[in-house]
Every structure is written in structure tokens, then in C-alpha cells.
Amino acid sequence: MRNPVQPQSQVAFDARCFMAIIRLTAGAALCALIAACSQGYPASVRQEFMTACTRESAAAPMCACTLRGIESEFTLAQYRDWERAIEFGDIDHAMSPRIEAITLACVANPDS
């Protein structure tokens, strides 16, 4: 019969291997998440926003800044919810004050 007790060095090695696998897995997941987040909203949504924003006579740098701010704070689903609410006249949507603040900051400093 085999001895179920492993030598101390084997236990330490197994723990180090396990932790290395966890770190690699977590690192890969984090890299994938960062890559996904850094890409922002889909290109079609970004283009739609930029077209609508610049159509209102806003400068493209200010619109791009505003979009970056919105993307950094709100998920695509949240943004779409706000967008639908605005289309139906709900200017008092919960996100509106924060989006207004982002926009005003970008008017003052479009390179931020």
C-alpha cells in the first residue's frame, strides 16, 4: 500500500505549482479583460456617438474626450439604456448628471 503522506518538499513544490498556475490563469484573464476594456465600445457605437456629437457643432476633440469619459465609467449596456431614455425624453435619467459633468470637463480640456 502506498503511503498517503507526501514528503514536506513535495507538498511545498505542489503548492508552488498550484500558485503559479493560479497566477498565470489570473494573469491571462486580467490581460484579456484589460484588452477588452481598453478597446471601449464597438466601433459602430463609437462612430454613431461621434457623428451625433459633431453634428451638434461640437468639436471632434471634445466629442472624443466625452466618449472616452463615458466609456471609462459606464458599460455599453448602461450607455445604451441612457441613450434610449434620452431618445424618449427622459433627460432626468440617473446617468445624465455624470455625463454632463464629463462633457463639461471635456469642454474645458478636450485633451483629457
pLDDT, tens digit, 9 for 90 and up, residues 60-80 = 999 999 999 999 999 999 999
Q: What share of the chain is helix, strand, coil (3-state, %, to 5)?
A: 75, 0, 25
Distance (Å, rounded) from C-alpha 110 to C-alpha 86?
23
For the chain, which residues make up each domain, given as ranges?
8-39, 43-108
Sign of CA dihedral 52, 58, 63, 66: negative
For residue 24, give the amino acid letter.
Answer: L
- Structure-model confidence comparison of residues 15 and 45, the more confident one: 45
- Kindly report the pTM of this predicted structure: 0.64
